[in-house]
Amino acid sequence: MDTHAWIYLFFYAESAMYALIDCNSFYANCEKLFRPDLKDKPVVVLSNNDGCVVARSSEAKLLGIKMGVPYFQVKDFCDQNNVTVFSSNYTLYADISQRVMMTLETLCPTVEVYSIDEAFLYLADYPVAMQDLSAYGHKLKAIVEMHTGIPVSVGIGTTKTMAKLANHAAKKYPATKGVCVLENIRWIRRIMQITDVGELWGVGRRYKLRLNEMGIHTVYQLAICEPGKIRQHFGVVLERTCLELNGQSCLGIESIAPKKQIISSRSFSERITDQQALSESICAHVAKAASKLRKQDSVCAYITVFAKNSPFSKNEPYVLISGDYHFITPTADSRVMVTAARQVLKVIYKEEVRYAKAGVMLLGICQHDEVQLDLFAEGQSNQNDSGQEERAKKSTNKRVEVTAIMDELNQKYGQNSNQQAAVFIASEGIKANQSWQMSRNMLSPCYTTNINQLPKVH
């Protein structure tokens, strides 16, 4: 047997430690927080448009409801088994997530929020934690649960990949009581041997198939592979995974960086066959994406507009239309971007397609103060003759002011009950009149973020 790999472990084991805290069945448990009557009952949460199951409580998992199944396939089953079903309420989940993350920040100086329900902690520069990792792990779990009511699992290991593996074990094996520390070599080997390689962070469906073909089925078998060989077959990403399994840290704690691409897209609740309706939805996506763009102080160099029919339909061919618009000067002005998007749509639009989804992508994103100016464009110069320069400056400033005021008003007044912003661009249309808007028929109240929807105690 090839044992070269284990040498790393001894070298690196003491130098670094990462913890991964992962909320259990996060969306489902957020819903349960405010519904004590659902304690110990099965709950599932659906994706937008009530399309697929995206979260299941532990009871729902036991019933055998699979992650990602289309809701219509399990609807009857849910009815028969008294499963409570919710549309996703992202406003609620985001607020609860923030509470979890804030609690973690009081327990460790270095926290990386990895997703809405997960965070990595870097323990190496926190001596208190390093003294007794298991005790610290249990403390993390207890305090987060006490402060937020959300149950979590804790995994601790020498690298991020090991922390992920530990977390997986903490979730899967009740004997761990939700906290697993991968410190002891024999224990590490044991966990690796009983974990399918497809469960590992960084191994998706494709890689699992190819690894299996090579005779690699468990995490352990991957860990003892020659990293160079893995690189040859799969590239550097999986090579890093392999190294991380041997205690050699390749992935550090990352700080929050501005997004390099911003997407806004959504399926319609019903098919659209009319260009006007499609245009309104596209314009709304542009406005939403542009507002995200401004929030991170960025501008974008080009925008992609796309729309498509359903890829699942059996009696119509799959149609995807898409087109780009390149801005001469990168921009974050919703009105400029809406005009561009409408122009693109006119060019790419195809008649007689039953559109099921549309959206936009913003690309070529950079910070607004790093913009490459266009020598000949108006409204941005800094070396023209003074009169022109003044006019140009005024025009630019006005644009910035208008969007800033729109953002401020929308921030202050929020959305009405139809999810329409307080101030919006006319070409977005009136949402109340748009029958194709996302359907969310089983939405819970925004218990923590809307004054009119606070839970009541009787």
Partner DNA sequence: TCTGGGGTCCTAGGACCC
- 157 is a contact residue toward DNA (CB under 7 A): no
Q: Of the ranges 185-193, 305-313, 404-412, 419-427, which one interacts with DNA (CB under 7 A)?
A: 305-313
Q: 10 Å Cβ neighbour count for 435?
A: 11
Gap between the Cα atoms of 458 and 90, Å rounded: 27
Among 6, 12, 41, 47, binds DNA (CB under 7 A): 47
Min separation Cβ 326 and DNA, Å: 8
- Cβ(357)–Cβ(267) under 8 Å? yes
Binding mask 266-295 for DNA (x = CB under 7 A): xx---x--------------------x---
Residue type, 68: G
Among 33, 38, 52, 124, binds DNA (CB under 7 A): 52
- Binning the chain into helix, strand and coil, the percentages to the nearest 5 are 45, 20, 35
Min separation Cβ 385 and DNA, Å: 31
- 208 is a contact residue toward DNA (CB under 7 A): yes
Binding mask 99-118 for DNA (x = CB under 7 A): ---------------xxxxx
Among 184, 313, 418, 433, binds DNA (CB under 7 A): 313
Gap between the Cα atoms of 219 and 41, Å rounded: 34
Min separation Cβ 452 and DNA, Å: 25
Among 312, 383, 387, 451, binds DNA (CB under 7 A): 312
Min separation Cβ 94 and DNA, Å: 12
The DSSP 8-state label assigned to residue 66 in this structure reads P
Binding mask 328-357 for DNA (x = CB under 7 A): ----------------------------xx
> Would you say 94 or 236 has its CB closer to DNA?
236
Among 64, 235, 252, 414, binds DNA (CB under 7 A): 235
- 260 is a contact residue toward DNA (CB under 7 A): yes
Among 189, 259, 431, 440, binds DNA (CB under 7 A): 259
- 203 is a contact residue toward DNA (CB under 7 A): yes
- 438 is a contact residue toward DNA (CB under 7 A): yes
Q: Strand ranges (DSSP E) for 3-151?
A: 18-23, 43-46, 53-56, 84-87, 111-115, 118-122
Min separation Cβ 391 and DNA, Å: 31
Phi first, then psi: what are they for 236, rounded to 5°?
Answer: -70, -25
- Cβ(88)–Cβ(440) under 8 Å? yes
Q: Which residue has the tokens 């008649």?
A: 351
Residues shown for the chain: 458
Which residues does 54 contact at the CB level (< 8 Å), separation at least 6? 27, 45, 46, 47, 67, 68, 88
- Cβ(156)–Cβ(163) under 8 Å? yes
H or E segment to which residue 128 belongs: helix 127-131
Gap between the Cα atoms of 276 and 77, Å rounded: 39
* Chain residues that interact with DNA, rule: CB under 7 A: 47-49, 51-52, 54, 68, 70, 72, 114-118, 164, 200-208, 235-237, 257, 259-267, 271, 292, 310, 312-313, 356-357, 359, 364, 438
